[in-house]
Amino acid sequence: MSRFWVEKIAGLEPYVPGEQPASDTLIKLNTNEHALPPADAVLTAVRDITGDQLRRYPDPTAERLRSAIAAAESVSPAQVYVGNGSDEVLAHLWFAFLKGQRVQTLDTTYGFYPVWAALYDVDLTEVPVLDDFSVDLEALKNDDAAVVLANPNAPTGRALPRDEIVALVESNRDRLVVVDEAYFGFGAETAVPLVAGHDNLVVTRSLSKSHGLAGLRVGYAIAQAELIEGLNRVKNSFNSYPLDAVAQSAATAAIEDMQWLEAASQSVRDVREVMSAGLEAMGFEVLPSQANFIFIQHNTLPGKHIFDALRSRDILVRRWDKQRIKNWLRVSVGTMAQAEQLLVVMREIVSAETG
Ligand SMILES: Cc1ncc(COP(=O)(O)O)c(C=O)c1O
């Protein structure tokens, strides 16, 4: 605390990201990074960067990348906004469209939403999820406040089908609905095809999970051009170059390699299946997941006990002290070898306690 801090900064409770330990020996299943490294084309694009590209400022409009995303998503480049990770896209979006307003999210969802709400003086309602952690769609529809919804949701992994997103977006066309698809590509239906017919919808995406590029920091939003223009106004009042030349080139290569996306996503779904079945056989409840992580609770052992026992055996997962989910663990889907190791260790932990 310094006496130079403005009052707002002193009152902030910033987001705390998952631990990034330096150790290589840990099995790191705590921040939902993709189990696989990105496509070869991405690494080639990074290697092919020239000195001249680094000498100059990058394209402030990220034209090539936005065109690649537009082509992949069947929208126009004017409907695409790119930023430094979807966190930055979302931060600008809260500033551009939600600042000072009433907004609904869920009581069990991405922990950054309340941080932005506080930063931008938003009156936030956290609508409780139902007992099975599914979204209380009726509650969201019955309130006219804007909605920010992660789909699939984190940390639950549950996803709403597109027709339920349609019902939400159309329940009141005068309020904005933001669908955060950070976990796109692992099985959930996307809301992007709804953008053409709905000027009150923004869909955000991340390359961090789907494309194995958490280290590159690229995210994007798809919405009608007037909304995208609003985001550009914020960006150009903050930092004209959120994506450097390396990120623009590598992300373009990633988006264009659709075969990699398909194969890598399938491998995540396969491992997710093995992890889920193995854990269920040991007495875990495993929520149905459409993401690259699973949300689990043991029928007798406390979450904290399992978390600590895994940690002492070099396996890192994520848990929260929040009352409603304090017994639950969020476990990222790793490689098949990591999943097998997790199951071996988990069997030891469970049988040590339950016999
Ligand atoms: C629901 C959700 N949205 C957005 C993000 C931010 O992703 P990134 O900034 O890496 O694109 C995350 C990251 O964990 C997330 O879980």
The answer to whether residues 27 and 64 belong to one domain is: no
**pLDDT confidence of residue 23:** 78
Q: CA-CA distances (angstroms) from residue 279 to 103, 289, 292?
A: 37, 14, 16
- In-domain check, residue 183: yes
- In-domain check, residue 311: yes
The answer to whether residues 267 and 300 belong to one domain is: yes
**pLDDT confidence of residue 261:** 97
From 28, 87, 116, give the residue whose CB has the most ligand 1 atoms within 8 Å, as the site to mutate. Answer: 87
- Split into its structural domains, the chain has a count of 2
Reported as a single tens digit per residue, the pLDDT across 251-298 is 999 999 999 999 999 999 999 999 999 999 999 999 999 999 999 999
Q: Whose CA is nearest to atom 3 of ligand 1?
A: 182
Atom of ligand 1 nearest to the CA of 209: 10
The answer to whether residues 201 and 126 belong to one domain is: yes
**pLDDT confidence of residue 227:** 98
Residue 302 has pLDDT above 90, yes or no: yes
Distance CA 11, CA 8 (A): 5
Which residue range forms the structural domain that includes residue 285?
Answer: 7-37+259-354
- In-domain check, residue 2: no
Residue with structure tokens 């809301």?
191
The answer to whether residues 296 and 335 belong to one domain is: yes
47 and 334 in contact (C-beta within 8 Å)? Answer: no
The answer to whether residues 184 and 50 belong to one domain is: yes
**pLDDT confidence of residue 265:** 97
204 and 216 in contact (C-beta within 8 Å)? Answer: no
- In-domain check, residue 1: no
- Dist. CA 86 → ligand 1 center (Å): 6
- Dist. CA 21 → ligand 1 center (Å): 19
The answer to whether residues 277 and 322 belong to one domain is: yes
Residue 54 has pLDDT above 80, yes or no: yes
- In-domain check, residue 342: yes
Atom of ligand 1 nearest to the CA of 214: 10
Across 340-346, average pLDDT: 97
**pLDDT confidence of residue 19:** 80
The answer to whether residues 154 and 282 belong to one domain is: no
Q: What token pair was written down for 262? A: 């398909």
Across 153-175, average pLDDT: 98
Residue 132 has pLDDT above 80, yes or no: yes
Across 3-11, average pLDDT: 92
Residue after which a domain boundary falls, among 217, 241, 257:
257
Residue after which a domain boundary falls, among 231, 257, 283:
257
The answer to whether residues 31 and 129 belong to one domain is: no
The answer to whether residues 286 and 247 belong to one domain is: no
The answer to whether residues 57 and 75 belong to one domain is: yes
Residue 355 has pLDDT above 80, yes or no: no
Residue after which a domain boundary falls, among 203, 222, 257:
257
**CATH code for position 121:** 3.40.640.10
Distance CA 157, CA 286 (A): 10
326 and 309 in contact (C-beta within 8 Å)? Answer: no
Model confidence at 126, pLDDT cuts 50, 70, 90, reads: very high
- In-domain check, residue 85: yes
Structural Rg of the chain based on CA atoms: 21
The answer to whether residues 46 and 179 belong to one domain is: yes
Q: CA-CA distances (angstroms) from residue 67 to 80, 168, 195, 252?
A: 8, 29, 17, 9
- In-domain check, residue 136: yes
Q: Whose CA is nearest to atom 12 of ligand 1?
A: 182
The answer to whether residues 164 and 283 belong to one domain is: no
- In-domain check, residue 54: yes
Model confidence at 209, pLDDT cuts 50, 70, 90, reads: very high
**CATH code for position 285:** 3.90.1150.10
Model confidence at 354, pLDDT cuts 50, 70, 90, reads: confident
